[in-house]
Structure 1
Amino acid sequence: MKVAFINPSLRPESKRRQLPVGLAYIMTAVKKVGYDFDLIDMDINNMSMSELASIMDNTTYDICAFGCIVTGFRFAREIADIAKRSNPNIVIIAGNSVASSIAEILLNNTKVDIGVMGEGDITIVELIQTIETKKPLSEIKGIAFKDNGKIFYSPPRPPVQNIDEIGFPDWDLFDLKKYEKYSAVNTNISSIDNMVSYPLNAARGCTHNCSFCYHVFKGQRYRKYSEDAVMDEIKRLHYGYSCNFISFWDELTFSTIKSVDNMVNKIMGLDFKIAWEASSRGNLFKNEHLELINRMREAGCDSISYSLENASPEILAAMNKKMKVEQFIEQSNVLWKGGVTPLTSVIFGYPQETPESIEATIKVCEECNIFPSVGFILPLPGTPIYDWAKNNGHITDEVKYLERIGDRQDFHINLTTMSDSELVDTVTEKLTALSLKLGLKLDSVFKTVTYQKPIINENKYSDI
């Protein structure tokens, strides 16, 4: 069997190039059972579709597999077209949310043959074995495929309960020298000399269910690697790859204060220093946790990412955030006090959005001394806000909608009662004013290229 894995380039203009964690897990699973394969890494090599076509034209592959998020639908279609044009008999497998959330649309509107639904570590191995032996695809759990022109969904694959059994990616599968050149650009820290950063998944899924969020573990139990497994992986990355910065690459790294405390204790017990960043809920840390945050900083924690999303209580309720703005403010302030940088994201454009709610959201960011990662609402298939947009006439042709959407920083759809220009101009104006107040150098208020931590007024936090 001749197998090709493709890492698409969904953001060819981006200054960042991240190791593809999901694809790394999939290829590692295939390597473990002894299959050889080629990796066509379009992203790190800035490869065009025509260059991909040239490679596919000159090599006969039995299987072509790739994954991408649903906003990359148009790329998935083009890659599948190229693969099938080069070899009409090739079997094309797609995974990640472009398969899990729109399997029927994907299979009916592209040359993709099989969609992997949800967790793919076991599924991909069974697929290759089944295709090789020409057994029925219907015997494999967790896939969708066409059978006599109709979409067939096999029974769901139960998630792996103990993800320690899966292990971590084999990074030697990639051209690491090329990826390591982007280490400093990929993080929010610039104070480490000769930075070598690696992503590390410490968990799969999330404990909450926001109405705008879709990921392949949605609806599954939140699962974490054991602390010992995470420490072993940090040691492997440090000693094996000279890694000095860990980016915890999770939907949610810390769900409880106890999980933070345990991780900090483990990291402080290592015989080397390592810096790291992680994610949490926006209401996890309180003033009473200042001592813990101090220890986090001592243990190398540079920043914690979490989401405000919006300062309107009405919009937060519509998002199912289950968080109060006051909790977000308390967390942000105590993180600053403890020396850990708070990073947040915001979303503009929910149906309830007004100029007043936009201004309120920006004011909260200003109060917390944070310039946020900014996005406009981008309804994704499989989410309540997507269903709302369809039911209210904002999405009338799903295929056309999926063909044109991309990054959330770009304005794609207006669900509000404001005009397009009023919504975009209000957000732009308020963000520009915020960047000036915080003294930031930004190429764009929507796409931060140069991140600089604001100068902190320590007196502001002295009463915490």
Structure 2
Amino acid sequence: MKKRLFRIIIPAFPKFNIYSSLLNKTTALGPICIATAVKKLPGWETEVIDENNFWRKEVLNPTGTINHQLLQQENPADAIGFYGGMSSSIPRLYQLAKFYKKMGAFTITGGHHFVSETIPEAFDNKIDVIAIGEGEDTIKELLIAIQENKSLNDIRGIAFKENGKIKYTPPRPPIDDLDSLPIPDFGLLKYARLILLPLGRVRGCGMNCEFCAVKGAPRFASPERLVEEIAKNYEKFNIREFFIVDDLFAQDREDTLKLCKLLSRYQARKNIKFKISVQIRLDKAKDEELLSAMKDAGIRTVIIGFESPIAEELKAMRKGLKPEDIVRLTKRYQDYGFAIHGMFIFGYPAKEGVNYSKTPQERVEAFKKFIDSTCLDTIQVLLPVPLPGTELRKRLLAQNRIYPSQYIGWEYYDGTFPLFEPDPPFTPQNLQNAVLEIMSWFYNRKGYFRLNLHLFLIPSYILRYGPKKGLREWKKKLRMIIYKVIGYRIIQRWLIQQEKLRYFEKLDLARKYLVKGKHPVLNFQLSSESK
């Protein structure tokens, strides 16, 4: 009997997304986990298609997008799962859902985007079922119900429409035993090229940041499991670059030390060196034993959410950090040889009753001064994004500050566009310009000059450090210069794309709509701009 096909699609990001050009060497971990859970389900086969990393040219349209009609004709899918983990790809998700529904497929979605606020619009866009929470068990029960034409009412953790009304089944508890899940099979990802592999050991995060959608007490897989995942993917695909996607690496200190030791031993046994990136809190720099173990394990880059060097903003975000500690702790990571990618949020909205003391330009200069003093290797400065389900979004909605979606759609929820009325004296346009000023200051055309100069500096590095270490340090610096050149080119391409969007024309309509709510911040802004 012919098996049914469950195809999972990771929708393409908008072309104007500043990071879209970086996505063709990796993929999202969640869809791979879901596909792997379905892999051995009787009567079903599964595949994953990542629109951001797809290299089969004969199935591409002249515009470079995937021809899903041809894909469906070649290998018809009975059910389609859409990855809804990134809000900026939701318009494309809905476009695909309408197409596949017209082709007769059953449509399913899930991910952080889908909460009580956004679930109704999904059903308006031809989604049949929404999985809420972790999906490995939910998807198996759902596909069996589809196959056997059974009721959906007994499947926990889903939303669907029944008799024209949205029905929510009881929530599904989080998976406690993560080791019981099958190891993600990246071989299910079709027509892609993987250079950087995403892996994870932790689900949940206990930090409770206002702007973040990841909540809940952290749950951990064993260190042995993650090492097995890395080993299998190295031995099967010869992949040596890994990104551990856990929101906070080293939340469980003892198991993290064990993980690092196991990774170090495996690499020594195979005589190889991995390049591993992790997201980690700044205060972990206080633990020198941990830093030493991380270095031995092949961790080369630490990604740190500094968010802001301004004390008032850090307090509003509930980051639990003080600016005076940040520089000292950053230096500790650098002393151990880690490359640091710094992530920042500019223009974070103050809580009610709090007025930030710095002017817009003073805040820009504070960011530049901090970034310069910490000698960060790469940076990412974004505007605040009020994502669905976050406390930040609830606060701004209550204040009538978020621009209505009929004017400013989900495609703009990528951190590069103003999405709500900023605190005075900022306007939306000068808020975005401030971010561009910081990014253009860091990633500038001088990188080309530095690149050419650096090519002649190998002898000086060897004289300073010796042959082996000198060449290693020279390569490390070269890599950072190349990143800055790439960053400059990405920003220039983004600026060209933005000119075509006419975003601020849409924004003018959105702001006029908010005026009807008589919001005091917006009225202040508009009156100031008219002077």
TM-score surpassing 0.5?
Answer: yes
Question: Pick from 264, 267, 275: which aligns with 1:268?
Answer: 264
1-side partners of 2:382 and 2:489: how far apart? 7
Question: Pick from 345, 363, 367: which aligns with 2:369?
Answer: 363
1:394-446 per-position Cα deviation (integer Å, ceiling 9, x unaligned): 22534554444242134444422112332233333344334469965445569
**Structure 1 322/399 Cα, relative in aligned 2: closer, same or farther at 3 Å?**
farther
Q: Residue in 2 aligned with 1:323? A: 321
Amino acid at match of 1:72: S
Select between 346-355 and 224-233 the one with higher mean Cα deviation.
346-355
Question: Pick from 289, 300, 303: which aligns with 2:301?
Answer: 303
Question: Pick from 236, 239, 242: which aligns with 1:243?
Answer: 239
**Structure 1 301/40 Cα, relative in aligned 2: closer, same or farther at 3 Å?**
closer
Residues paired across the two proteins, number: 427
Q: Residue in 2 aligned with 1:214? A: 213
Q: Residue in 2 aligned with 1:374? A: 381
1:14-37 per-position Cα deviation (integer Å, ceiling 9, x unaligned): 133222311101111001223213
1-side partners of 2:489 and 2:348: how far apart? 17
**Structure 1 32/327 Cα, relative in aligned 2: closer, same or farther at 3 Å?**
farther
1:293-352 per-position Cα deviation (integer Å, ceiling 9, x unaligned): 244323322111110111222211211212222333222101111111122200112124
2-side partners of 1:38 and 1:384: how far apart? 35
Q: Residue in 2 aligned with 1:186? A: none
Structure with max Cα Rg: 2
Amino acid at match of 1:157: R
Select between 441-450 and 333-342 the one with higher mean Cα deviation.
441-450
Pairing 1:65–2:92 present:
no
RMSD over aligned Cα atoms: 2.7
Select between 411-420 and 68-77 the one with higher mean Cα deviation.
411-420
Counterparts of residues 171-320 of structure 1 (less than 5 Å): 171-175=186-190, 178-180=192-194, 183=195, 197-215=196-214, 218=215, 220-270=216-266, 271-272=269-270, 273=272, 274-286=274-286, 289-290=287-288, 292-320=290-318
**Structure 1 337/301 Cα, relative in aligned 2: closer, same or farther at 3 Å?**
same
1:208-264 per-position Cα deviation (integer Å, ceiling 9, x unaligned): 11111114xx3x321111011112222212222222222212222222544443222
2-side partners of 1:266 and 1:50: how far apart? 41
2-side partners of 1:31 and 1:247: how far apart? 24
**Structure 1 419/99 Cα, relative in aligned 2: closer, same or farther at 3 Å?**
closer
**Structure 1 402/224 Cα, relative in aligned 2: closer, same or farther at 3 Å?**
farther
Q: What TM-score results when the alignment is normalised by the length of structure 1?
A: 0.84
Amino acid at match of 1:63: A
Pairing 1:433–2:429 present:
no
Question: Pick from 400, 403, 408: which aligns with 2:415?
Answer: 408
Deviation at residue 52 of structure 1 after TM alignment: 1.6
Counterparts of residues 78-89 of structure 1 (less than 5 Å): 78-87=95-104
2-side partners of 1:241 and 1:156: how far apart? 37
2-side partners of 1:73 and 1:245: how far apart? 29
Structure 2 unaligned spans of 5+? 351-355, 451-480, 494-531
1:344-368 per-position Cα deviation (integer Å, ceiling 9, x unaligned): 2001121246422332233222111
Deviation at residue 94 of structure 1 after TM alignment: 0.6
2-side partners of 1:306 and 1:153: how far apart? 37
Structure 1 unaligned spans of 5+? 184-196, 451-464
Amino acid at match of 2:284: L
2-side partners of 1:58 and 1:19: how far apart? 24
Select between 428-437 and 402-411 the one with higher mean Cα deviation.
428-437
Instruction: Provide the secondary structure at the position in 1 that maps to 2:45.
Output: coil
Instruction: Provide the secondary structure at the position in 2 that maps to 1:305.
Output: strand
